[in-house]
Chains A and B, each alone.
Chain A
Amino acid sequence: MVSDNQDGKATATKQPLEVTKLQELVYELKIEQVMTKKVITVSPDDTLRRLKEQLRINRISGTPVLRGAELVGIISIEDVLKALERGEIDARVGDKMTVDVQTVFADETIMQAVNTFGRHGFGRLPVVTRDGRLVGILTQGDIARGLLRQLEIDYHEEEIHRYRASHIFEDIVSDQTGLILRYNVRAHDFTHCGEAASKLKRALERLGAKPTIVRRIAVASYEAETNLAIHSTHGGQLTAEVQPERIRIIAVDTGPGIADIEKAMQPGFSTAPDWIRELGFGAGMGLNNIRSCADEMHLDSKVNVGTRLQIVIRL
Chain B
Amino acid sequence: MTLGEIANELALAVQTASDRLDTPVTGGYASDLLSCVMAKARKGNVWVTLQSHLNIVAVAALLELAGIIVTEGTAPDAATLQKANEEGVPILTTSQTTFQVVARLAQLGIRGGD
Contacts and interface: CB of A to CB of B under 8 A. Distances in A.
Contact of B35 (A197, A201, A215, A289): A289
B63 A218 contact: yes
B35 A279 contact: no
Interface in B31-90: 32-36, 38-39, 43, 49, 51, 53-56, 58-59, 61-63, 79
A195 interface: yes
Interface string A186-203: 000011011101100100
Nearest to A211: B43
A76 interface: no
A222 B51 contact: no
Nearest to A283: B33
Interface in A265-306: 279-281, 283-286, 288-289, 292
A253 interface: no
B38 A223 contact: yes
A195 B62 CA distance: 10
Interface residues of B, number: 21
B38 A190 contact: no
A280 B54 contact: no
Interface string A97-112: 0000000000000000
A226 B63 CA distance: 16
Contacts of B61: 198
Contact of B34 (A33, A201, A280, A288): A280
B102 to A, nearest CB: 17
B22 interface: yes
Contacts of B49: 280
Contact of B55 (A223, A279, A285): A279
Nearest to A33: B22
Contact of B59 (A191, A194, A284): A194
Contacts of A226: 34-35
B62 A219 contact: yes
A223 B39 CA distance: 10
A285 B63 contact: no
Contact of B58 (A33, A195, A292): A195
Contacts of B51: 279-280
Best-surrounded residue of A195, A283, A288 (most CB of chain B within 10 A): A283
A190 B77 CA distance: 14
A288 B53 CA distance: 24
Nearest to A197: B62
B35 A191 contact: no
Nearest to A277: B33
B94 to A, nearest CB: 18
Contacts of B54: 190-191
B80 to A, nearest CB: 10
Contacts of A193: 55, 58
B58 A215 contact: no
Contacts of A190: 53-55
B34 A289 contact: no
Given A194-B59, A219-B62, 19 more contacts: A33-B22, A191-B79, A194-B55, A194-B62, A197-B58, A198-B62, A218-B63, A219-B63, A223-B38, A226-B35, A279-B55, A280-B32, A280-B34, A280-B51, A283-B35, A283-B36, A285-B35, A286-B35, A289-B35
24 contacts: A190-B53, A190-B55, A193-B55, A194-B59, A195-B58, A197-B58, A198-B58, A198-B61, A218-B62, A219-B63, A223-B35, A226-B35, A279-B51, A280-B32, A280-B34, A280-B49, A280-B55, A280-B56, A281-B55, A283-B33, A283-B35, A283-B36, A286-B35, A288-B39
Interface of B: 22, 32-36, 38-39, 43, 49, 51, 53-56, 58-59, 61-63, 79
**Nearest 4 pairs of A and B residues by beta carbon:** A194-B58, A285-B35, A283-B33, A280-B34
